[in-house]
A and B are shown apart, each in its own frame.
Chain A
Amino acid sequence: MKKLFLLISCILLLTSFSISQETFDFDNYQLLKSSGKIPEDITKLYMEKYKEDKSSISKSNKRSENKAKDEFLQESNYYINQLLISGKILFNDPITKYINSIADVILKDQPDLRKSLRFYTVKSPSVNAFSTDKGIIFVNLGLVAQVTSEAQLAFVLSHEIVHYAKKHNMDFYLSKKKIEKGKTYDQEDVDESFLKVHHRSREMESEADELGLLDYYSKTNYALTEIDGAMDVLQYAYLPFDDIKFDKSYFESPYFKFPDNYRLDNVTPIKGRDDYDDTLSTHPNVLKRREALKDLIKNLDNNGKQAFIQSKEKFTTVKNLARFECINQYIVDQDYVEAFYNSYIMLKDFPNSFYLHKSMASSLYLMAKHKIDGKLTEVVADYKKREGESQQLNYLFRKFEKKDFCVVAIRNIWQLYKLHPENEYLTSLKDDMFKNMFNKGNIKPKDLAFAPRDTSTVNLVADSLAIEHASNKYDRIKSKKKTTESKGSGNENYFKYILVDMLQDTAFKRNFNNFFAISKVTNEDEENDDDYESYRSYRRRTKNTPTTKINNILVFNPLYFKIDERKSDVIRYMDSDQKQKEYIDKIKRITDKLSIKTNMLIPSEFTADDTEIYNDYSILKDWLTESFNMPGESSYILNSSQNVSPLIKKYNTQYIDVSGVLSARTHKMPQTYTQACVWSVYIITIPYSIYLISAPDYYSYYFHTVLDLKTGQAIYYNNSSFYNRDRNDYLNSKLYDSFNQIRKGKNLRISNN
């Protein structure tokens, strides 16, 4: 018996030791993946969850209250389920494990409550955490990335636990319904009920702060002084991980510098107001929360309490993991400045991180491509809206011309490529940027100098030494003047010397010349092409293009929404879920009929052991998000494509199928009345015209696209809408036709890459 006890103790010790000693290679960072069994929260179907919850809620005597409760269960289960199956959730990964370990500390004396709670990490960079009445607490990566201690995270978790324990979500929903029921259509009443709803929400938040502190947090060994830090995190949540100076010299070389007007003399100081007007906010302002908590803390004992119960190193590792993950998410969400600046910040601690350098190169590449396509303003916010040092970057990127962006991107990509020439992703970035430089960036070799202006400009270090050691004021002035002129500072010639140093590199020069030669041929071909190609010209061009027949495809979780536009709550949750299942069955039947091999990535069909597929699904979800965010027809090399390459080999296909349906019951449409008038001219068809007027109107939208995982381009798309219900025959017809076109390679826009 003793031996057995010893053995178990040793195993437990070793396990905990291995978790605490888990090391991560941040230099060659790989994105986090979920592990272990998929939790039931994800695998369980929406309808089952809803029915289970419905049977467990207490029934009231009031019919309206029961109805509101039922609506709440339908709605909340639907949205929670959508989030759980979105691929944005991490489970059993180091961050989620860490969050769970903090929850274990908070609830060590309340095992039943602990057992009923499940914590998941959401792959979102926004600073947030939220709780559900089902006992699921979601913590965003952004929050973990921004807190400065374990205790701060513990306070946020305590706050969320109160929301669950007090069933705040249901309470809020019922209060909201009650308030809305009492309102009239008078604008004053509407405004008042709106304010009442928000007031109720703020009350609940204050209660969660108070009880979170008194019932949970204060009973642990976490330092009370850290709560103020948690409030700081909320106050400055909109800022990057840090506020360090960024200078445009980062992009410059000894041979050129950007004009001085490419930088702001002063950045807007960080205001981070905590006393903002919260009348229309769901949360009280930070000042009120901070003061209320301070009052409570006064009466509590902080002796012996700590910011870290687990090791600080472990916290730092988890925080860095969250930060690295956030950087990836920023790129997925097209927040390239944030990705670039945060990578720049993280380089202080991880100067050799290939991941960070690659993220910066990727951000620059994607911004340059957006600039070329005239879409930069969609991804780089106006610098006036920013505060702190990161404002410099927004200003600089907005200031960059197309050619500036191209050159900055190619410089950055090339320097990294030289260190990792085997990296396929960097190679494709480099090639594409070279192509764009000459084609759309309007850079011509004649605009560039291939050698430094004179020998004196080569060594600017020597120049600066000369300034320092000048014997008198006049010599110093002369030296400074000489250096300034040689750098091209503040004049229009800066661009001429922008690639001088790179062009000294034979490999770079060879690439430069090759791609320029290719661009000349391409430009001649495209000389007469308009921006918008006519259908006739497209047919002519693609007449002899070989078609690719697709017999193997990944089918990504199809979307299906049933909505009723006449109601305030437009989504019909249960119908949407049911119809989605039927739609998936249709896809299976049709692809079987057409002998198309499919790999279905559908969360509602995952079993507990499908974690590997879940991770693939999650990677593809990021890829699709990034892909759909990209503008128009241009080809972009997506940052997520690095993670997708192994999946192409694994599933033996480079094509992914994404489709969906939106079916809406609408308000009566004018054309219905016109039709009814037409049919009423004949006595026999009068009943039909009556039917037209009395029956509800419907509108359905069907979309189907196939994307090439290698190029990121949509090679097939079919968007169609019809003034009808989402009837089986219509959907069968559309789906069969789409898959038939895909299988036969008809109407496919196949890239030649």
Chain B
Amino acid sequence: MLKGIKMEHINMKRIIYILVISLMISSYCEAQVSGYMGKRWLFMYDINARPTFSNPNQNGNTGFTSLNVKNTFGLEFVAGRHLQMGVSYSYFNTCFDFDGLSIFTSPDNMLSTYSPTAIGNISVKGVSYFMKFFYSDNLAPLGTYTKIQLDHYSWDWSFSDVNNPPPSGFVTSGSKSSYGLSLCVGNQRIFYDRIILNVSLQTGYLFSGYNHSDLEDQYSINGNSDRFMELITSNRVFVHYLWSFNVGIGVLIF
């Protein structure tokens, strides 16, 4: 896990440099950008959805048909004939659950077992910088594209169990942040020369990582609920980030 965090700091700088340079090069090379009918700025709203599977969504529902939903607002710019780039802000709320666990309670430092009867909440916010590369016969912002996105997510979590309150010393809230990188394949269409529709499939990797074995070690050895909850929520966000199906609507501003 530590390895993962280190990588995050080392690679991020490099990635940002690459993105900035590529932006400069593309702007230089593509001096005659048409956009769509001369319009090159877009405002987009996307909904990213994925089934909850075994993890609860913000309503606490689980299963194949229950969805975790993320809302994204973005400002995008057609930088080249086949290149679109932009920034976006996203947020979503979801829940997390965990099985019973053994914990050292303070101040007597006794090992006891806690079985939660409630689920916790996570509120995630993120900012992203992305580039959409349109396939050769599609002119941005129209047609099929591949998107590379760099994200920074931060999330706050909280946990309360009215029926079975956790033992004292158990940390019930916290926050965390992480960078992530995602790849997306999608298609954009334009109606009435102004309204833009976007459909895509996205997969991503959050540098906070996913680690189940560490999770067990933390508790059986240290009984550190802070670390425990951090990993639980990180894993939850990681899973959400892993892949999603996106539908968006936007407007060509000018």
A contact residues vs B (CB 8 Å cutoff): 590, 593-594, 682-685, 720-722, 727, 729-730, 732-734, 736-737, 740-741, 744, 746-747
Which residue on B lies nearest to A682, using beta carbons? B245
Separation in Å of the B138 CB from the closest CB of chain A?
7
Query: Could you list 28 examples of A-B contacts with CB < 8 Å?
Result: A593-B38, A683-B51, A683-B64, A683-B65, A684-B51, A684-B245, A685-B201, A685-B245, A721-B137, A722-B137, A722-B138, A722-B143, A729-B190, A729-B193, A730-B142, A730-B143, A732-B36, A732-B190, A733-B34, A733-B190, A734-B139, A736-B34, A736-B36, A736-B37, A740-B32, A740-B38, A741-B34, A744-B32
Residues from chain B with Cβ under 8 Å of A594 in the complex: 38
Residues from chain B with Cβ under 8 Å of A744 in the complex: 32
Q: When the two chains form their complex, are residues A736 and B38 in contact, meaning their CB atoms are under 8 A apart?
A: yes
- Contacts beyond the supplied A683-B51, A740-B32: 19 A-B pairs with Cβ under 8 Å: A593-B38, A594-B38, A682-B201, A684-B49, A685-B245, A720-B137, A722-B143, A727-B189, A729-B142, A729-B190, A729-B191, A730-B143, A733-B37, A733-B139, A733-B142, A734-B139, A736-B34, A736-B38, A737-B139
Interface residue? B81 (CB, 8 A) = yes
Interface residue? B2 (CB, 8 A) = no
Separation in Å of the A730 CB from the closest CB of chain B?
7
A730 to B134, alpha carbons, bound, how many Å? 13
Separation in Å of the B190 CB from the closest CB of chain A?
4
Residues from chain B with Cβ under 8 Å of A734 in the complex: 139
Interface residue? B31 (CB, 8 A) = yes
Mask: chain B, 139-162; 1 = CB below 8 Å from A; 0 = not:
100110000000000000000000
A685 to B51, alpha carbons, bound, how many Å? 11
From known contacts A593-B38, A736-B38, infer whether A729 and B137 are also in contact, taking CB-CB under 8 Å: no
Q: Which chain B residues numbered 185 to 207 have a C-beta less than 8 Å away from chain A?
A: 189-191, 193, 201
Residues from chain A with Cβ under 8 Å of B190 in the complex: 729, 732-733
Which residue on A lies nearest to B39, using beta carbons? A736
Separation in Å of the A105 CB from the closest CB of chain B?
59
B contact residues vs A (CB 8 Å cutoff): 31-32, 34, 36-38, 49, 51, 64-65, 67, 81, 137-139, 142-143, 189-191, 193, 201, 245
Separation in Å of the A593 CB from the closest CB of chain B?
7
Contact of A590 among B37, B67, B137, B189 (CB under 8 A): B37
Majority SS at the chain A contact face = helix
A326 to B138, alpha carbons, bound, how many Å? 45
Residues from chain A with Cβ under 8 Å of B65 in the complex: 683
Residues from chain B with Cβ under 8 Å of A736 in the complex: 34, 36-38
Residues from chain B with Cβ under 8 Å of A730 in the complex: 142-143
Residues from chain A with Cβ under 8 Å of B31 in the complex: 746
A730 to B188, alpha carbons, bound, how many Å? 11
A730 to B31, alpha carbons, bound, how many Å? 21
A746 to B191, alpha carbons, bound, how many Å? 28
A730 to B81, alpha carbons, bound, how many Å? 14
Which residue on A lies nearest to B190, using beta carbons? A729
Across the A-B interface, how many residue pairs have beta carbons closer than 8 Å? 57
Which residue on B lies nearest to A735, using beta carbons? B37
Separation in Å of the A365 CB from the closest CB of chain B?
38
Which residue on A lies nearest to B135, using beta carbons? A722
A729 to B188, alpha carbons, bound, how many Å? 10
Separation in Å of the A650 CB from the closest CB of chain B?
30
Separation in Å of the A120 CB from the closest CB of chain B?
41
Separation in Å of the B80 CB from the closest CB of chain A?
12
Q: When the two chains form their complex, are residues A732 and B137 in contact, meaning their CB atoms are under 8 A apart?
A: no
Residues from chain B with Cβ under 8 Å of A590 in the complex: 37
Separation in Å of the A741 CB from the closest CB of chain B?
6
Q: When the two chains form their complex, are residues A737 and B81 in contact, meaning their CB atoms are under 8 A apart?
A: yes
A353 to B32, alpha carbons, bound, how many Å? 51
Separation in Å of the B79 CB from the closest CB of chain A?
15
Separation in Å of the A42 CB from the closest CB of chain B?
34
Residues from chain B with Cβ under 8 Å of A684 in the complex: 49, 51, 67, 245
Residues from chain B with Cβ under 8 Å of A737 in the complex: 34, 81, 139
Residues from chain A with Cβ under 8 Å of B245 in the complex: 682, 684-685
A720 to B67, alpha carbons, bound, how many Å? 39
Contact of B32 among A682, A683, A727, A746 (CB under 8 A): A746
Q: When the two chains form their complex, are residues A729 and B38 in contact, meaning their CB atoms are under 8 A apart?
A: no
Residues from chain A with Cβ under 8 Å of B34 in the complex: 733, 736-737, 740-741
Which residue on A lies nearest to B81, using beta carbons? A737
Residues from chain A with Cβ under 8 Å of B142 in the complex: 729-730, 733
Residues from chain A with Cβ under 8 Å of B64 in the complex: 683
Separation in Å of the B241 CB from the closest CB of chain A?
16
Separation in Å of the A502 CB from the closest CB of chain B?
49
Q: When the two chains form their complex, are residues A593 and B37 in contact, meaning their CB atoms are under 8 A apart?
A: yes
Separation in Å of the B44 CB from the closest CB of chain A?
16
A463 to B32, alpha carbons, bound, how many Å? 72
Listed from nearest, the 6 A-B pairs whose CB atoms lie closest are A746-B32, A729-B190, A737-B34, A740-B34, A720-B137, A733-B142
Q: When the two chains form their complex, are residues A741 and B32 in contact, meaning their CB atoms are under 8 A apart?
A: yes
A727 to B139, alpha carbons, bound, how many Å? 14
Residues from chain B with Cβ under 8 Å of A685 in the complex: 201, 245
A593 to B37, alpha carbons, bound, how many Å? 9
A732 to B36, alpha carbons, bound, how many Å? 8
A533 to B20, alpha carbons, bound, how many Å? 32
A747 to B33, alpha carbons, bound, how many Å? 12
Contact of A729 among B32, B36, B81 (CB under 8 A): B36
A684 to B191, alpha carbons, bound, how many Å? 24
Separation in Å of the B62 CB from the closest CB of chain A?
14
Which residue on A lies nearest to B137, using beta carbons? A720
Which residue on B lies nearest to A720, using beta carbons? B137
Which residue on B lies nearest to A727, using beta carbons? B189
Which residue on A lies nearest to B189, using beta carbons? A729
Interface centre among B31, B191, B245 (most CB of A within 10 A): B245
Separation in Å of the A749 CB from the closest CB of chain B?
15
Which residue on B lies nearest to A547, using beta carbons? B32
Which residue on A lies nearest to B37, using beta carbons? A736
A593 to B81, alpha carbons, bound, how many Å? 19
A497 to B191, alpha carbons, bound, how many Å? 72
A39 to B22, alpha carbons, bound, how many Å? 60
Residues from chain A with Cβ under 8 Å of B193 in the complex: 729, 732
Which residue on A lies nearest to B193, using beta carbons? A732
Which residue on A lies nearest to B65, using beta carbons? A683
Interface centre among A721, A729, A733 (most CB of B within 10 A): A729
A734 to B142, alpha carbons, bound, how many Å? 10
Separation in Å of the B22 CB from the closest CB of chain A?
19
Which residue on B lies nearest to A729, using beta carbons? B190
A682 to B245, alpha carbons, bound, how many Å? 9
Which residue on B lies nearest to A590, using beta carbons? B37
Residues from chain B with Cβ under 8 Å of A593 in the complex: 37-38
A720 to B135, alpha carbons, bound, how many Å? 12
A720 to B134, alpha carbons, bound, how many Å? 14
A733 to B193, alpha carbons, bound, how many Å? 10
A737 to B36, alpha carbons, bound, how many Å? 8
A736 to B33, alpha carbons, bound, how many Å? 10
Separation in Å of the B192 CB from the closest CB of chain A?
9
A732 to B51, alpha carbons, bound, how many Å? 37
A740 to B34, alpha carbons, bound, how many Å? 7
Interface centre among B65, B137, B245 (most CB of A within 10 A): B137
Q: When the two chains form their complex, are residues B32 and A733 in contact, meaning their CB atoms are under 8 A apart?
A: no
A746 to B34, alpha carbons, bound, how many Å? 11
Which residue on B lies nearest to A589, using beta carbons? B37
Residues from chain B with Cβ under 8 Å of A732 in the complex: 36-37, 190, 193
A594 to B37, alpha carbons, bound, how many Å? 9
Separation in Å of the B111 CB from the closest CB of chain A?
43
Separation in Å of the B76 CB from the closest CB of chain A?
16
Residues from chain A with Cβ under 8 Å of B67 in the complex: 684
A746 to B190, alpha carbons, bound, how many Å? 25
A734 to B136, alpha carbons, bound, how many Å? 12
Residues from chain B with Cβ under 8 Å of A741 in the complex: 32, 34
A720 to B138, alpha carbons, bound, how many Å? 9
Q: When the two chains form their complex, are residues B36 and A733 in contact, meaning their CB atoms are under 8 A apart?
A: yes
A219 to B36, alpha carbons, bound, how many Å? 68
Residues from chain A with Cβ under 8 Å of B49 in the complex: 684
Residues from chain B with Cβ under 8 Å of A683 in the complex: 51, 64-65
